[in-house]
Amino acid sequence: MSAQIIDGKGVAARLRKDLGEEVSQFREATGVVPHLAAILVGEDPASAVYVRNKQRACEKAGIKSTLHRLDAATTQVDLLELISGLNGDDSVHGILCQLPLPSQIDETTVLDSVTPIKDVDCFHPENVGLMVQGRPRYLPCTPAGCQRLIAEAGVETSGAHAVIVGRSEIVGKPMGMMLVQKGDVANATVTYAHSRTKNLAEITRQADILVAAIGKPNFIRGEMVKPGACVIDVGINRVDEKLVGDVDFDSVVGIAGSITPVPGGVGPMTIAMLLQNTLTAAKLQAE
Ligand code: GUN
């Protein structure tokens, strides 16, 4: 039997359409146009594509987006000054600083400088703390997208064993925190696995829900997957000009119960969740 392919692109398109309607209702009621300010430092072509996709999605949903492009040699002081200006600009509701940043800039210092109410990536420790305590202001975009896809696949999370492979601050760590919470699409028993984990395959084979967020192309192979498991592939790796995930799709698709493709799985959901957070930000700041 072949796994159900979870159509992230389709789900994201539906969410974005609904969100567009919510944006216009909000605009009619308040006169406020939600506004995302994106910052792109340097010339990384992949980052430029991601930011462009985010901006296009904003515009289609009726969200204003402005792009602040900075030179690769930009100093940390200059970047902090830009963010400080955006923090104080009442017409800007969300601030997104695309990662990675050039090596002369300390990522943590920069991300911490975004005022928490405008932190639509949910990277600020205040927002991470609120999320971990089960009273989120924003949800981190990629884990929120994964959670939504797990729900779309009709997978029961309560009491399920979710194994998260990868412990990044952006995806792995918050993903586990969200699935372990009390609530819908949650109540899972969570195991974190990472590069130092021993007997990794033994652990991944116990997963009812397997989230691969390690950044290694085709890392999760069929023999590491429990038959019938829900496999969520967060990886976006470029191999010979082709996009591949962290999951070896061909060897897993015949074993898993459901699986997200790359591209067309988690990626489009991340953008939809960013739009959702930007609307939430505008609402919170209109209060
Ligand atoms: N770089 C890769 N993923 C992300 C993300 O979700 N947000 C930002 N700001 N940068 C990224």
Cβ atoms of 252 and 69 closer than 8 Å: no
Identical fold, 32-116 and 141-267: yes
One-letter identity of residue 180:
V
> Which ipTM value was assigned to this complex?
0.95
Distance from C-alpha of 207 to C-alpha of 269, rounded to nearest angstrom? 23
Class of domain 32-116: alpha beta
Nearest CA to ligand 1 atom 1: 99
Distance from C-alpha of 218 to C-alpha of 233, rounded to nearest angstrom? 10
Ligand 1 contact via 99 beta carbon (within 6 Å): yes
Instruction: List residues with catalytic annotation.
Output: 54, 98, 121
- Of the chain, the percentage scoring pLDDT greater than 70 comes to 100
Does residue 260 register a pLDDT over 90? yes
Residues facing 192 on adjacent strands: 164
- 166 annotated ligand-binding residue: yes
Per-residue model confidence (pLDDT) at position 131: 98
Listing DSSP states for 51-62 in one string gives HHHHHHHHHHTT
Encode pLDDT of 41-60 as tens digits. Answer: 999 999 999 999 999 999 99
- 168 annotated ligand-binding residue: yes
Per-residue model confidence (pLDDT) at position 11: 98
- 27 annotated ligand-binding residue: no
In the chain, domain spans: 32-116, 141-267
Strand duo 237-239 + 189-193: pairing? unpaired
Q: What distances in angstroms separate CA 67 from CA 51, 96, 119, one per listed residue?
A: 8, 10, 16
Region 19-27 average pLDDT: 98
Encode pLDDT of 137-188 as tens digits. Answer: 999 999 999 999 999 999 999 999 999 999 999 999 999 999 999 999 999 9
**Ligand 1 centroid to residue 216 C-alpha, Å:** 17
Nearest CA to ligand 1 atom 2: 99
Question: CATH: 3.40.50.720, 2.40.30.60, 3.40.190.80, 3.20.180.10. Which one for 141-267?
Answer: 3.40.50.720
Ligand 1 contact via 142 beta carbon (within 6 Å): yes
**Ligand 1 centroid to residue 90 C-alpha, Å:** 24
